[in-house]
Amino acid sequence: FSHTGSGFFASPASQQNKSNSERERSQPTTAAAAATASTLSDSFGRFHSYLRISLTERCNLRCKYCMPADGVQLTQKQQLLTSAEVLQLASLFVAEGVRKIRLTGGEPTVRKDLTEIVAQLKATNPLLESVGITTNGLMLTRQLVGLQRAGLDALNVSLDTLRAARYEQITRRKGWDRVMAGIDLAIQLGYRPKVNCVLMKGFNEDEICDFVELTRDRNVDVRFIEYMPFTGNRWDTDKMVPYRAMLETIRARYPTFEALPNGPHDTSKAYRVPGYRGQMGFITSMTEHFCGSCNRLRITADGNLKVCLFGNTEVSLRDALRSPGCSEDDLRCLISAAVKRKKKQHAGAPARSTTTTNTSYAQTTTLFQRRPALQLQQPHRHYASLSHVDVHTGRATMVDVDDKLSTKRIAKAQATVYVGPTIAALIENNELKKGDVLSISQMAAIVAAKKTSDLIPLCHNIPLSSIKVETNLNSSTHEVHILAKVKCDGKTGVEMEALTAVSIAALTVYDMCKAVSHEILIKNIMLVEKTGGKSEFYRKQFSHDASTLETRTMEERTTERMPPVPPTRPYRTDPIVTNEQFVPMYI
């Protein structure tokens, strides 16, 4: 950084060479402190000492409640803050009174320079009291020791389930075991990790007491977060579990569940079960907001300052930094103007507008008029769209799957053919002239699945790893039931292959039986289940009495397979880094 003004842009080396007396002299006087406080104080007297900085928009998970089904548009790299700009802004805010910084994303651990950023924040900002990260925990076993050496003070881990199968369903990725190992490693290294869990009605609310049990022998702070609205998650009140309902559920099983004292700026209402090593918390953003004591500011990955999570307006600090005429005072004015426009409180669910808001403030400086700041709600489709139609030309097009990850994909489909009592008897006794209806239709389904891309014009040619087809006759209803299960390891799903398989099998039944009667009815051709992609599907209330293929819902399989609470991992003493001593710490 170049040296300008009062020196908050000073290079890391020059700051490290300061003597203690120089640092003491650099502390603000009473008058200067008042001026400093005014920069980060809003019109309601709230001073903002906590800054959250998003390092990236990218993530290595695809959580359903976070990632919309049609994906998100990532900002171009040149529009994102560089590492130098992140450190520059952090130093400015620390000089103005910020004492706590949390690095977020996206997923911050996908940044290769995360450890270096943490080290620089600690080395160049002696007034900074805490640097933390919020992570999904997948990379902790690889990175946490290095981050601790760099000076990382606090750790939040986002984990919405204690069941491996459900974790994979939520995130569309494997990795639950790695997250739990990362949490245990954090405890061994002396951290008290905060485990953030977003509760959703009808999805993971049945695990409330399981998370309480997690605190029995682990020194963690589990925090339940009320489901909140944000871009693309299609929030509705039916999914939200209110704080009071959570508390009632826990106290029904743990009558001694007790409240703990909270700090003036704590967003979490703290509780514990007496005798348990850890504690619980409730972040009640929707039902009992904590706006009156809010001390948080946010900087997005593309450099916009957000003064309220639920607010729509943002102001671009990136544009100001990159402006040749930008001075330290201009930045202070820009930040101060944004902070002073902060509302007294949010109004629950925000308006879902997609327009831009002009944030030209009263101060007269060219920085404020470079462009309007974008709202939190970026333009985004919330209606169904045709994936095989070019939005610009309206012409049919094949979907480009080059950027998709290759995953294991499974699809199941079914069809029913009503043949009537006469044909049913002929099939059962294998007396039709064309041969064994069930076996031949089964073979037709397998061939059809492999030929799907030849039949469906815009369907990808996929190397299938497995095709299983069952054809069964129900003598009582005079129906042939067909069920197909198709698998592949690829970048696109196989539901079309499964649907084609059962459709051709049904047509084969018709072809082989039409000489006897044309009263045959093909019905109920449908997708039963689809897994492995960004949008998964499980048809509820599906039953197929004649089939032995597994057709239970994911919820039923999850409940049946997973234990209610994972066992505590044994404390390990093997080195995390080769040739280095590692001693676990108990707290």
Of the pLDDT bands very low, low, confident and very high (cuts 50, 70, 90), residue 79 is very high
- Do 87 and 160 sit in the same domain of this protein? yes
200 and 298 in a single domain? The answer is yes
**The total number of structural domains that make up the chain:** 2
Q: Could you tell me if 189 and 53 lie in one domain? A: yes
Q: Is residue 254 part of a domain?
A: yes
521 located within any domain:
yes
Question: Which residue is associated with the tokens 């994909």?
Answer: 409
- Written as six digits, the tokens of 435 are 């041969």
The pLDDT assigned to 342 comes to 85
Q: Are residues 360 and 412 in the same domain?
A: no
pLDDT at 100: 96
Question: Tell me, what's the pLDDT at 398?
Answer: 72
Question: Which one is predicted more confidently, 67 or 301?
Answer: 301
Residue 566 forms part of a structural domain: no
Q: Same domain, yes or no, for 458 and 538?
A: yes
Tell me if residue 374 falls in helix, strand or coil.
coil
441 has a pLDDT exceeding 90: yes
More confident residue, 19 or 268: 268
pTM of the model: 0.56
Average pLDDT over the chain, rounded to whole? 78
* Contact predicate 520/417, CB 8 Å: yes
Residue % of the chain over a pLDDT of 90: 48
Residue 370 vs residues 143, 302, 374: alpha-carbon distances, Å: 40, 16, 12
How far apart, in whole angstroms, are the C-alpha atoms of residue 491 and residue 488? Answer: 9
pLDDT tens-digit readout, 524-540: 999 999 888 766 788 86
Residue 9 reports pLDDT greater than 80 = no
Higher-confidence residue of 30 and 298: namely: 298
What mean pLDDT is predicted for residues 443-447?
Answer: 95
Query: Is 387 among the domain residues?
Result: no
Read off the pLDDT of each residue in 495-502 and give the average, rounded to a whole number: 94
pLDDT at 106 over 50: yes
Residue 215 lies in a domain: yes
| Rounded average pLDDT over 510-531 | 93
CB 497 within 8 A of CB 411: yes
Q: Over the stretch 372-398, which tens digit does the pLDDT of each residue have?
A: 343 333 333 333 455 655 545 556 667
Residues 196 and 242 in one domain: yes
Residue that wins the pLDDT comparison between 170 and 103: 103
Helix then strand then coil, % of the chain, to nearest 5: 30, 20, 50
CATH code, 176? 3.20.20.70
Q: Which CATH number goes with the domain that contains 531?
A: 3.30.70.640
Establish if 142 belongs to a structural domain: yes
Cα separation, 416 vs 157, whole angstroms: 47
pLDDT of residue 344: 81
The residue among 347, 369, 391 that closes a domain is: 369
- Positive or negative, the Cα torsion across 434, 435, 437, 440? negative
pLDDT for position 68: 63
Q: What is the DSSP letter of 256?
A: T
Q: Which letter, b or e, does each residue of 25-37 get, where b requires 16 or more Cβ atoms within 10 Å of its Cβ? A: eeeeeeeeeeebb
Least confident of 137-151, 182-196, 283-297: 283-297
Q: Is 398 domain-assigned?
A: no
What pLDDT sits at residue 394?
56
Q: What does the pLDDT average to over 163-188?
A: 92
User: DSSP 3-state assignment of 254?
Assistant: coil
Whether the per-residue pLDDT at 26 is higher than 50: the answer is no
Q: Clarify whether residues 212 and 332 are in a common domain.
A: yes
Q: Are residues 329 and 424 in the same domain?
A: no
CA distances from 288 to 156, 242, 261, 284, 388 (A): 22, 9, 17, 5, 45
Whether 545 is catalytic: no
Task: Print the domain residue range for 238.
Answer: 12-369
Domain check: are 443 and 329 in the same one? no
* Selected catalytic residue, list 70, 206, 266, 511: 511
Tell me, yes or no, whether 565 lies in a domain. Answer: no
What is the pLDDT averaged over residues 363-372?
Answer: 35
